[in-house]
Structure formats: C-alpha cells, structure tokens
C-alpha cells in the first residue's frame, strides 16, 4: 500500500492535478463562507471588468462572476459525484449479475447495456431532463442513466475472469450464498479498475452537467459553470471574461480528474506502466 | 468477397438493428409516461397551442383510455409507420421538420468524421514515430487538454478569436442568406461557415483518436511480425508505413463507429452555439418551446441514424480488413 501512495503522489502531473482538485473541493465545501448569500444577488453595476472591484468582474445583471464560480464548483462537484455514484452502483449490479450467472441472464443484460451504448446518449439525457423538468435530481438521474454502461461491462469482465478462480470455487463449495460470494469475494478483487473508471466518469459527468446547464437545462436555482457560460455567450463581443473564465474552471477540473485517474491506474497496475 | 455474401451480411446486420430501433420506440413511450399530464397533452406540445379537438383526437388515436399494453402497441404502430405526430409550435408535421434539417447535420457530421479520423490518425502516427521526443509530448499534451475541454466552450472561444477579434470567419448560420449565392459561390460560402463548427466538434475526437492511434502503434511495434520485417531488411520507414500503420487503423475505425452516437450529441451543442440549422438546433428550439413530441421524434430519428451509420461503418470495416470473414 505504501508503494501505491509513493507511486501515485510522486508523479508531478498527478500531484499538480490533486492540488487543483483539492482547491476546487475547498471552494465547493466553503462556498457559503467564502461568498455568503446567493450567487444570484446583484452586487454591482453590470459588466465591471476583471480585477476591478470584483476579482473576475460582474456579468450582464451585475452578479459577481467569482461568487458564481465558487457556488458553481459546489453544484458541479455535487451533481457529478452523486451521478457517478449512482452509475457505479447500478452498473456494478448489472455487470456482476450478468457475469456471475451467465447464460440467458447475461445475454439479456448485455444486449440492454449495448442498447444504451448505441443510442445517442447526450440527446437521451436532454430528453430525460426535459421530461422530468430541470432540477438537481433530474440532472443526477439523466447523467447516471447515460453513464452506467461502461461500468457494467468492466464489472462483468472482471467477474467473468474471477468466477472460476479457486478462491471463488472454494467459497461456493463452502456453501456461501451468491450474494456473499459476490460482495465478499469477487467484487473486492474487481475494485481497482472500478475505481479508475469511476474517477474518469466523474470528469465525464462534469462535462455533461455543464453542457446541459449551458443549454438551459440546469437546476434553476443552482449556480453552475455551464449556466454562467450560457448566460454570458450573448455578450461574448463586449465581455469575454463571462464565458472564458468559467470555461477554464471546467477545463482545469476535468483535466485534473483525467490525469489523476490515469495516475491512479498507473499506480494500481505498476506492471502495465511501461506499455 | 462476392457481392451476394456482402448482401447477405447487410441483411443480417439490418435484422440485428431491428431490436434497437424497437427499443428506442419503447423507450420513447416510457418517457411519455414519465412526463406530467397524459401523453396526449404532451404529444400536442405541452404548454398549449393545440386545439382541444386535436387533443381529443390524439387520445382516441393512441387509445389513452385503453390498457397500457394496447397504448404501447398503438404507439409502436404509429411510429413505425413514421407517423411522428404534429408540431403545433412549428405548424408542421414532425417528420418533414426533421428531414428538412437532416442534411445540415449530416454535412457537419460527415466533415467532422473525416476531419477527426484523418487528423487523429495522422497526429497519432507522428506522435508514435517521434515517441519520447518533445514533438510527441506536444501532441500528447494537446490531446489530453482537448480531451478535457467542453465542446461549447471551444466553439465560443473560436468565435471570440476567429470571428470577433480577427474577423476571418462568420460567427453563425450555414450560409449568408442575404447574399443569394449560387453554384460554386454558394458551396464556398457554406464551406466557410462550416470551418468553425467542424473544428469545434472534431477537436475532442481528434484527441481521442490520437491517443488510440499512438498507443496501438506502439503496441504493434513490439510484435513478432515487425521483428520479421526488420530481419528481412526492410527500412524502419517501410515497416511503419506498410505494416504498423495498416494494422493500427482498425481500432480507430472501430471506435469511430462507437462514437457516432456521441458525435450526434455533440452536434446538438455545437449547432446551438453556431446556429447551424441542423437537427441539434431543432432540438434546442424544441427544448425552449417545451415541444416534447418534436424532441422525442428527434431522439428517434437520430437513433435510427446512429444504427444506419454503424452498419455503413461495419461494411467499410469489412472491406478494409480481408481477415474478417462474413459468416
């Protein structure tokens, strides 16, 4: 385990990414302290420039961009993490049932999984949010609904590979229930690819959430980065910072998660590293 | 391979596609059930606009007072007859509304596909040839960054730089409506409008294919057939171009097929940024008008499109790789 942490943290790219992610998490957790009150409050005249009275200026209604960023960090992270957890839970359920029982169950579940991978998932997410009415909960549901298939496939693959190993056979002989074998024996050994894929899914979830909010499908009373960009796009010509700055926040966060996820993969599978 | 066998393969692929299309119809039906109010009000364009008689007529036609299984059967029957309903917001049946926008989306998608697969293969090849040099690092870092950038933001930044600051390219639309270009002048005008949306949509996929191409090439380079080629005295250049590249193309084509659905989703965002008059922009407008029926129609047609493009790509794949036998 110490080898893992050393491999993970001494990679300079990973360390830098974790630093940024830690910063975003602090912003998200401390949003109400760093910027009390609602980020929708009008604090100044519209379009005050960057590094003036406000760090990142104000938008077309005189709302502080910096306050929006801080509260947006909370929205983005919360929604993406919840959606990913839901996707991982559901994908793990589907994948482990398919891999463990095999046969007809496996066939049916995998066809369903493939179906969800074939349909244009972002359009499906749009339709879902539009029908459920935009809110934090429907965003989580929509993102989770389009994100679970890769998890199901990975878990199925791992379960298939582990199912015939001696320790699982021993557990079957010892009379453990299917559930106990899956949860106690198989899944713990499938954890590392699950963690890596899950971490990359968070990045993807942030991108989907921001695109949905950009299109006006975000939660109406929650400030988010995508919403800021959507609200600022009409003023691109006169107020570049309204669009540019939240976009950089999304970019850096997604980039950091991707790099940290890859670092995690390298650290968990040191032998594959030089491939 | 004989034309007959290819035809048989095609028919089998089309038969395999049927459950997917049916699945989308059933999914649409379930989504309609999820929506507030009964399906008839949703189909008529939720926030009103449709006359009461039409809503009654819809209830009758979809059998909304009948058991749910009958409703499902009626719905499937209507959709498969390509009766996607009527959009009161646009005062037009849904199907022609969608077909009208289809070719703009196909143009954008086709250009993006060529640009991203071509660019990805080329840059990935170069990165693999220059592996562990600064040029490789530059390409790889650019790919990682592009992979993490939200599409709509790239689009807005490109508009900011190339349209607003430099004034090289138009900000939006597909052609200059006021200019009434004809013939080649019109083609050139559309091409000019296509540049920014196509680049925006391509960037993410170029990044994806660069990484895939580079990884596959590096993997292939260690295989036995490369050693054999080297042993018989081929130059490194010949080995790369004749053997390694050819074998590395297949994963890229495979993933390009898988990504078609994603490409369509991306085009919704890109089209709404650039006001490109395709399916995506129609979806965006439907969203604003709360025209759920139109939205469901777009979802259905774009799913069919994905299935269709996937079949085409499978056939191309078959022609690319003689090792794949059709059963």
| pLDDT of res. A51 | 66
CB contact under 8 A, A119 and B27: yes
Residue B232 in tokens: 């018989």
What average pLDDT does range A238-255 have in this prediction?
Answer: 88
Interface contact B152, partner A, CB < 8 A: yes
User: A142 Cβ partners below 8 Å, 6+ apart?
Assistant: A124, A125, A128, A129, A132, A208, A212
**Phi, psi for residue A63 in degrees, rounded to 5:** -90, 145
Q: Does A210 touch chain B (CB under 8 A)?
A: yes
How far A111 CA sits from the closest chain B CA (Å)? Answer: 9
**Contact at CB, A243 and B148, closer than 8 angstroms:** no
- Distance CA(B44)–CA(B294), nearest Å, equals 10
Within 8 A by CB and 6+ apart from B236, the residues are B230
Nearest CA in chain B to A108: B19
Is A111 at the interface with chain B, CB within 8 A? yes
Q: Are A14 and A263 in contact (CB under 8 A)?
A: yes
Disruptive mutation site among A131, A247, A263 for chain B (greatest number of B CBs within 10 Å): A131
Average pLDDT, integer, range B59-83: 75
**Residue A116 CA to its chain's centroid (Å):** 18
Backbone angles phi, psi at B145, to 5 degrees: -65, -45
Query: Residue B43 pLDDT more than 70?
Result: no
What mean pLDDT do residues B230-258 have? 84
Confidence of residue A113 (pLDDT cuts 50, 70, 90): very high
Q: Which among A119, A128, A211 has the least Cβ separation from residue B303?
A: A119
In what helix (H) or strand (E) does residue B222 lie, and over which residues does it extend? Answer: none
The 8 Å CB, 24+ separation contacts for B33-39 are B34/A131, B34/A132, B35/A131, B35/B292, B36/A133, B38/B64, B39/B64, B39/B71
- The rounded Cα A252 to chain-centroid distance in angstroms is 14
Give the pairing type, strands B86-87 and B92-93: antiparallel
Q: How confident is the model at residue A275 (pLDDT cuts 50, 70, 90)?
A: very low
Residues B278-288 have pLDDT tens digits of: 888 888 888 87
A210: closest chain B residue by CA: B150
Q: What is the chain B residue with the closest CA to A249? A: B149
Q: CA A60, A63, A69: angle at the middle one, nearest 5?
A: 110
Question: In the predicted model, what is the mean pLDDT of residues B104-131?
Answer: 90
Three-state DSSP at A100 gives: helix
Give the pLDDT confidence score for residue A11 in this predicted structure. Answer: 79
**Contact across the interface for B295 and A130, Cβ inside 8 Å:** yes
Q: Count CB-CB contacts under 10 A for residue B99.
A: 12
- Please write the tens of the pLDDT for every residue from A122-160: 989 998 998 888 888 999 999 999 999 999 999 998 888
Tokens (6 digits) for B124: 């990935």
With 80 as the cut, is the pLDDT of residue B39 above it? no
Evaluate if residue B154 carries a pLDDT over 60.
yes
Burial A193-223 (b: 16+ CB within 10 A, else e): bbebbbbbbbbbbbbbbbbbbbbbbbbeebb
How far apart CA B28 and CA B21 sit, in angstroms, is: 11
With contact defined as beta carbons under 8 Å apart, do A213 and B115 qualify?
no
What is the pLDDT at residue A185? 84
Unique residue bearing structure tokens 């950089």: A248
Cβ of B150 within 8 Å of Cβ of A126? The answer is no
Lowest mean pLDDT among A96-100, A198-202, A266-270, B22-26: A266-270
CB count within 10 Å of CB B148 equals: 22
Q: Tally DSSP H helices, then E strands, for chain B.
A: 14, 2
Question: Is B187 in the A-facing interface, judged by CB distances under 8 Å?
Answer: no
Task: Report d(CA A59, CA A69) in Å as an integer.
Answer: 12
Q: Would you place residue A274 in the very low, low, confident or very high pLDDT band (cuts 50, 70, 90)?
A: very low
User: Could you report the per-residue pLDDT of A34-85, keeping only the tens digit for each?
Assistant: 777 777 766 667 666 766 666 677 766 667 777 788 888 888 999 999 999 9
A259 to chain B, minimum CA–CA distance in Å?
8
Mutate to test the interface with A, among B145, B265, B279, B300 (most CBs of A within 10 A): B265
Q: Which residues of B touch A13 (CB under 8 A)?
A: none
CA–CA separation, B205 and B147 (whole Å): 8
In the numeric block, which tokens belong to residue B199? Answer: 């680049």
CA-CA distance, B268 to B94, in Å (whole number)? 18
Q: What is the reported pLDDT for A268?
A: 80
Whether residue A97 contacts residue A109, with contact meaning beta carbons closer than 8 Å, is answered with: yes
Complex-level ipTM: 0.84
DSSP structural state of residue B325: P
Structure tokens at A10: 């001494």
Half-sphere exposure in the Cβ direction for A156 (13 Å, CA): 24
Choose the closest CB to B144 out of A125, A226, A258.
A258
The answer to whether the CB of B293 falls within 8 A of the CB of B95 is: no
Q: What percent of chain B has pLDDT over 90?
A: 10
Q: Is the pLDDT of residue A106 over 80?
A: yes
- pLDDT above 90 covers a percentage of chain A that reads 27
Q: Which residue has the tokens 């660019």?
A: B119
Q: In this structure, how many other beta carbons lie within 10 angstroms of the beta carbon of residue B73? A: 14
Q: Does A258 contact B269 at a Cβ distance shorter than 8 Å?
A: no
Lowest mean pLDDT: which of A34-43, A188-197, B17-26? A34-43
Cβ within 8 Å, pair A211-B144: no
| CB contact residues (below 8 A), chain A span 119-158, against chain B | 119-128, 130-133
Mean model confidence pLDDT for chain B: 82
Query: What is the secondary structure of B71-97 as a DSSP string?
Result: HHHHHHHHHHTT---EETTTTEEHHHH
B271 pLDDT more than 50: yes
Place of tokens 């594959």: A272
What pLDDT shows up at residue A209? 93
Pairwise CB contact (< 8 Å): A120 & B306: yes
With an 8 Å Cβ cutoff, are B288 and A216 in contact?
yes
Taking alpha carbons only, the member of A186, A198, A199, A204 closest to residue A88 is A198
Name the residue with tokens 């349209």: B163
Closest CA to A206 of A218, A196, A216, A194: A218
């Amino acid at each position: 385990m110490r080898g893992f942490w050393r491999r993970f943290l001494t990679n300079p790219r990973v360390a830098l990414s974790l630093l940024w992610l830690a910063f975003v998490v602090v912003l998200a957790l401390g949003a109400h302290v760093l910027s009390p009150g609602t980020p929708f409050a009008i604090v100044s005249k519209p379009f005050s420039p960057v590094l003036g009275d406000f760090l990142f200026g104000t938008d077309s209604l005189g709302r502080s961009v910096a306050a929006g960023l801080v509260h947006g960090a909370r929205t983005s992270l919360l929604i993406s993490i919840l959606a990913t957890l839901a996707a991982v839970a559901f994908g793990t359920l589907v994948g482990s049932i398919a891999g463990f029982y095999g046969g007809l169950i496996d066939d049916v579940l995998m066809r369903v999984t493939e179906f969800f991978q074939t349909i244009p998932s972002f359009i499906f997410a749009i339709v879902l949010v539009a029908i459920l009415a935009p809110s934090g909960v429907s965003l989580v549901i929509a993102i989770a609904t389009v994100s679970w298939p890769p998890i199901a496939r990975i878990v199925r693959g791992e379960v298939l590979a582990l199912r015939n190993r001696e320790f699982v056979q021993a557990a079957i002989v010892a009379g453990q229930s299917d559930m106990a074998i899956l949860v106690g024996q198989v899944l713990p050994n499938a954890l590392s690819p699950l963690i890596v894929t899950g971490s990359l899914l968070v990045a993807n979830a942030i991108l989907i959430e921001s695109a949905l909010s950009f299109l006006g499908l975000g939660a109406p009373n929650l400030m988010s980065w995508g919403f800021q960009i959507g609200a600022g796009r009409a003023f691109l010509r006169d107020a570049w910072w309204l669009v540019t700055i939240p976009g950089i926040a999304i970019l850096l966060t997604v980039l950091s998660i991707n790099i940290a996820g890859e670092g995690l993969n390298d650290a968990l599978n040191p032998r594959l590293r030089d491939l | 391979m004989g034309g007959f066998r290819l035809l048989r393969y095609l028919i089998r692929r089309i038969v395999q596609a049927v459950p997917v299309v049916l699945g989308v119809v059933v999914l649409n039906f379930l989504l309609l059930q999820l929506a507030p109010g009964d399906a008839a009000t949703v189909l008529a364009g939720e926030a009103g606009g449709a006359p009461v008689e039409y809503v009654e007529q819809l209830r009758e036609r979809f059998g909304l007072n009948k058991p749910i299984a009958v409703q499902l059967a009626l719905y499937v029957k209507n959709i498969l007859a390509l009766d996607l309903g009527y959009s009161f917001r646009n005062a037009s049946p849904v199907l022609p509304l969608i077909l009208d926008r289809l070719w703009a989306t196909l143009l954008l998608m086709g250009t993006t596909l060529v640009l991203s697969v071509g660019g990805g293969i080329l840059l990935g090849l170069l990165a693999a040839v220059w592996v562990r040099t600064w040029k490789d690092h530059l390409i790889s870092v650019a790919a990682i960054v592009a992979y993490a950038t939200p599409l709509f933001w790239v689009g807005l930044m490109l508009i900011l730089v190339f349209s607003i600051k430099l004034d090289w390219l138009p900000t939006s639309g597909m052609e200059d409506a006021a200019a009434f270009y004809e013939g080649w002048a019109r083609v050139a005008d559309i091409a000019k409008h296509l540049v920014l949306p196509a680049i925006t949509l391509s960037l993410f996929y170029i990044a994806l294919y660069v990484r895939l191409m580079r990884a596959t090439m590096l993997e292939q380079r260690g295989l036995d057939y490369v050693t054999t080629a080297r042993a018989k005295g081929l130059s490194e250049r010949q080995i790369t171009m004749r053997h390694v590249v050819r074998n590395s193309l297949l994963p890229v084509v495979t993933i390009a097929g898988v990504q078609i659905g994603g490409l369509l989703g991306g085009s919704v965002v890109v089209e709404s940024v650039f006001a490109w008059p395709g399916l995506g922009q129609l979806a965006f407008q439907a969203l604003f008008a709360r025209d759920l029926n139109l939205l469901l129609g777009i979802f259905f047609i774009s799913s069919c499109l994905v299935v269709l493009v996937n079949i085409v790509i499978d056939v191309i794949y078959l022609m690319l790789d003689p090792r794949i036998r059709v059963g």
